[in-house]
Amino acid sequence: MPETMKILIVKTSSLGDVIHCLPVINDIHVAYPDVQIDWVVEENFADIPRLHPRINRVYTVAFRRWRKQLLNAKTWEEIKRFKHLIAQNNYDAVIDTQGLLKSALITRFTHGVKHGYDKRSIREPLASYFYDRKYSISYQQHAVTRNRALAALSIDYDPPSAVPDYGLEAKPNSENIPKKPYIIALHGTSRDSKLWPTEHWIDLGKALNQTQVSIVLPWSNPAELSRAEQIAKSLHNSVVLPKLSIEELASVISQAKAAIGVDTGLSHLAAALNIPTIAIYTDTNPALTGVMGSQAQAINLGNIGKTPSVDDVLTCLNHIQ
């Protein structure tokens, strides 16, 4: 590969998956310091690559919205506009780390050598037929490691063994921030089976109050707001945030003493921002997709059918602060 080149990363969703791909940006820059890297992402998660100073341009798609509005002329106008924009550049490599038909289809719109997983290493095997070069990468390793390996094989550098560098830079913001030190409680997630009991959050807040630490509660939908308000009603040291964008929430997380969260993309965001993080798992196995820290420590607690106790969380919190 030339030392000065243009790379396109295709990783559209979801929040945690996008964060898991971020370390490839620093890896590529170490191997090729003059590289220019662009990224394609779902519009709802575009704040994440935009927080990375080494990503040149962020292209957005809206598959989630487009699927619901296929009969709308505006949808097809947006798709046509995206295809036109993405086709204006000639890339030395287009790397699809998503491994889905929708992300593979995006590579068809691009000009450049297309790289991806082979059919035995990919979530949707048909997607591999869209790539010019395909690689066998074991599923029995963390998602961060798989992404880094794919990028290294695609543009010919040694797969890195150093801890991942996510490279995010959140802008400090004093709005919505308590004056005293605080823990951010990332209590919302995509499935009820992944929730930590509300009573546990309340007991955690009471324990934090004894150490003069506040608990900050974000939310993104009415159900999460209701839970946040229920938790806060039982505590004297809680703050329920207004509804925030991912960029705004990244600022709040970046100033926290630590983050405690369930299996949600925001827990991965906290780890990526180098905040000491405890991730709570109740219905999924964290071995392959758990939080992976960089400079700060990140701990995965629990497993399928194994809900961590409040004492488990407090013990880990004392260890990582």
Residues 129 and 226 in one domain: no
pLDDT above 70 as % of the chain = 98
Residue range(s) defining the domain that contains residue 70? 6-155
Residues 72 and 27 in one domain: yes
Residues 97 and 229 in one domain: no
Confidence (pLDDT) at 175: 76
> Is there a domain that residue 149 lies in?
yes
> How does strand 238-240 pair with strand 277-281?
unpaired
Confidence (pLDDT) at 37: 98
Q: What is the pLDDT of residues 108-150, one digit of tens each?
A: 999 999 999 999 999 999 999 999 999 999 989 999 999 999 9
If the chain, 321 residues long, is cut into consecutive pieces of 10 residues, what is the mean pLDDT of each piece? 84 97 97 96 97 98 92 93 96 97 96 97 96 96 96 95 94 78 96 97 97 96 98 96 95 96 98 97 94 91 97 94 70
Domain CATH code at residue 236: 3.40.50.2000
CA-based radius of gyration for the chain: 20
Confidence (pLDDT) at 231: 98
Residues 121 and 34 in one domain: yes
Q: Enumerate residues 6+ apart whose C-beta is below 8 A from 269.
A: 15, 19, 48, 168, 246, 249, 250, 253
Residues 40 and 146 in one domain: yes
> Is there a domain that residue 175 lies in?
no
Looking at residue 285, the DSSP 8-state letter turns out to be -
Q: Are 56 and 308 in contact (CB under 8 A)?
A: no
> Is there a domain that residue 167 lies in?
no
Q: Are 195 and 189 in contact (CB under 8 A)?
A: yes
Q: How wide is the angle at C-alpha 233 spanned by C-alphas 228 and 236, nearest 5°? A: 110
Q: What is the pLDDT of residues 213-265, one digit of tens each?
A: 999 999 999 999 999 999 999 999 999 999 999 999 999 999 999 999 999 99
Residues 295 and 194 in one domain: yes
Which long-range contacts does 233-236 make (Cβ < 8 Å, 24+ apart)?
234/202, 234/205, 234/206, 235/202, 235/205, 235/206, 235/209, 236/209
Question: Which residues are bridge partners to 261 per DSSP?
Answer: 186, 279
Q: How many residues does the chain have?
A: 321
Residues 116 and 201 in one domain: no
Q: Enumerate residues 6+ apart whose C-beta is below 8 A from 10.
A: 39, 40, 94, 95, 96, 97, 98, 103, 106, 107
> Is there a domain that residue 227 lies in?
yes
Residues 200 and 146 in one domain: no
Number of domains in the chain: 2
